[in-house]
Amino acid sequence: MLLIHCPHCGTRPELEFSYGGEAHIARPADPSQVSDDDWASYLYLRSNTKGVHAERWRHVRGCGRFFNALRDTTTDRILVTYKAGEKPPGEAR
C-alpha cells in the first residue's frame, strides 16, 4: 500500500487521499479579458510530465485539506509534500 504524507496530519494510507490534478495552475485574474484559446488552455492543457511532477492532492478522509506533492511519474514515488500556497521545496523563494 502506498503511504502519503499529509503536511497537516502526517503519513496515512493512500485510500484516504484523492488526486487533484497538476499543481500551480494559476487562474487568470480577469477571465473576461482572456481569449477563448487562452481560457481553453487554462481549463484543459496540462504538462503530462515524464519525471518529477507537481500535483495537488486532497486528504478527503482526513483533514479535508488540499496540499501539493512532487511525484516522480516514472516510479510513482512521492518525493515530498508541502502545503498549498507554498513553493515546491528547493525552488528559489
Q: Which spans of this chain sit near Zn ion (rule: CB under 5 A)?
A: 6, 8-9, 59, 62-63
Contact 57, 18 (CB under 8 A): yes
Determine whether 57 is exposed, middle or buried from the number of CB atoms within 10 Å of its CB (0-12, 13-18, 19+).
Answer: buried
Residue 51 or residue 64: which is nearer to Zn ion going by CB? 64
Q: Minimum Å distance from CB 46 to Zn ion?
A: 24
Residue 24 or residue 61: which is nearer to Zn ion going by CB? 61
Q: Which run of H or E residues covers position 81? A: strand 77-83
Q: Minimum Å distance from CB 29 to Zn ion?
A: 30
Q: Minimum Å distance from CB 60 to Zn ion?
A: 9
